[in-house]
């Protein structure tokens, strides 16, 4: 699934570059390819391995430490300054994430290898984002190449360790196409643009909205029930983002 969706996202990006006559954006140094393709590939390896070897709720909670890591370590970037409000906002938002997972069966006291993999995923995505910040000269169009490289690496891992099972029905193919166009396509191009040219500290805090929005969509679709924990998570994450956005400098 990773190989197919990244191929879709990469090919779509490639077509856009071709139509614009900007295929030269793919010609980047080895540092850009190491950060871009390496970051995308390793993050998904660690995250999916974590989901296989630890309870999904626990793995997801640990993995979502990455926005907080981005906020904290952004202070070490050239020209960046970490204000107290950035840190407070990130902590409040992370508290909202903890509230969101409070109704799930969490037993982090019994640590498993999957928890370590989830933590590795969190550090990988934070490192990918922060290192991308230092590569502002690399255009976001190059993400198309990074996606295709990730697809090729994922294909090799799949062939070496998994049994191939192709989708059998059109809704399954449609889901793969939607994933490739959105979460494994446009999202990475937009994130690259954001971390390179936006307020990376605020982006880290706003990222906590992702699991809450996902849960809200499940509620609207009738697959989950609204709860006090969800409401509290929304308030805390929005509040944390507000605090972080008020920080100056």
Give the pLDDT of the chain (249 residues) as one tens digit per residue.
Answer: 999 999 999 999 999 999 999 999 999 999 999 999 999 999 999 999 988 887 777 777 788 888 888 888 887 777 766 677 777 877 887 887 777 666 555 555 545 678 889 889 999 999 999 999 999 999 999 999 999 999 999 999 999 999 999 998 999 999 999 999 998 899 999 999 999 998 887 887 788 777 777 777 877 888 767 778 777 877 887 787 777 766 554
155: left (phi over 0), alpha (psi -120 to 50) or beta: alpha
CA distances from 41 to 115, 124, 142 (A): 19, 10, 15
Q: What is the largest CA-CA distance in the chain?
A: 54
Containing structural domain, residue 43: 2-245
Question: What is the reported pLDDT for 91?
Answer: 83
Location of structure tokens 């255009």: 139
CA distances from 150 to 3, 31, 99 (A): 7, 15, 34
Q: What is the pLDDT of residue 245?
A: 66
In angstroms, the CA 66 to CA 101 distance is 16
Half-sphere exposure of 220 (CA within 13 A, CB side): 6
What pLDDT score was predicted for residue 146?
97
In the prediction, which pLDDT does 210 show? 77
Q: Which residues of 3-36 are buried (b: 16+ CB within 10 A; e: fewer)?
A: bbbbbbbbbbbbeebeeeeeeebbebeeebbebb
The answer to whether residues 199 and 62 touch, using CB atoms and an 8 Å cutoff, is no
Q: How many domains would you assign to the chain?
A: 1
Cβ–Cβ < 8 Å for 187, 8: no
User: What pLDDT, on the 0 to 100 scale, is given for residue 211?
Assistant: 74
């Amino acid at each position: 699934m990773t190989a197919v969706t990244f191929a879709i996202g990469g090919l779509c990006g490639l077509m856009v570059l071709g139509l614009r006559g900007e295929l030269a954006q793919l010609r980047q140094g080895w540092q850009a390819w190491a950060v871009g393709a390496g970051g995308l590939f390793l993050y998904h390896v660690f995250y999916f391995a974590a989901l296989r070897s630890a309870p999904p709720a626990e793995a997801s909670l640990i993995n979502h430490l990455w926005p907080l890591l981005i906020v904290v370590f952004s202070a070490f970037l050239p020209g960046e300054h970490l204000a107290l409000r950035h840190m407070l906002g990130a902590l409040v938002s992370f508290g909202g994430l903890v509230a969101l997972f409070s109704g799930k069966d969490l037993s982090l006291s019994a640590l498993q290898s999957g928890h370590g993999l989830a933590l590795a995923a969190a550090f990988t995505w934070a490192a990918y984002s922060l290192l991308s910040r230092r590569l502002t000269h690399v255009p976001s169009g190059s993400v198309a190449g990074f996606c295709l490289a990730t697809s090729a690496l994922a294909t090799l891992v799949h062939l070496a360790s998994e049994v191939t099972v192709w989708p059998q029905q059109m809704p399954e193919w449609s889901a793969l196409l939607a994933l490739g166009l959105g979460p494994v396509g446009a999202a990475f191009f937009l994130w690259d643009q954001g971390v390179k040219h936006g307020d990376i500290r605020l982006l880290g805090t706003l990222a906590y909205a992702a699991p809450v929005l996902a849960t809200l969509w499940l509620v609207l679709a009738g697959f989950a029930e609204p709860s006090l924990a969800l409401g509290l998570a929304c308030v805390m994450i929005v509040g944390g983002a507000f605090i972080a956005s008020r920080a100056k400098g």
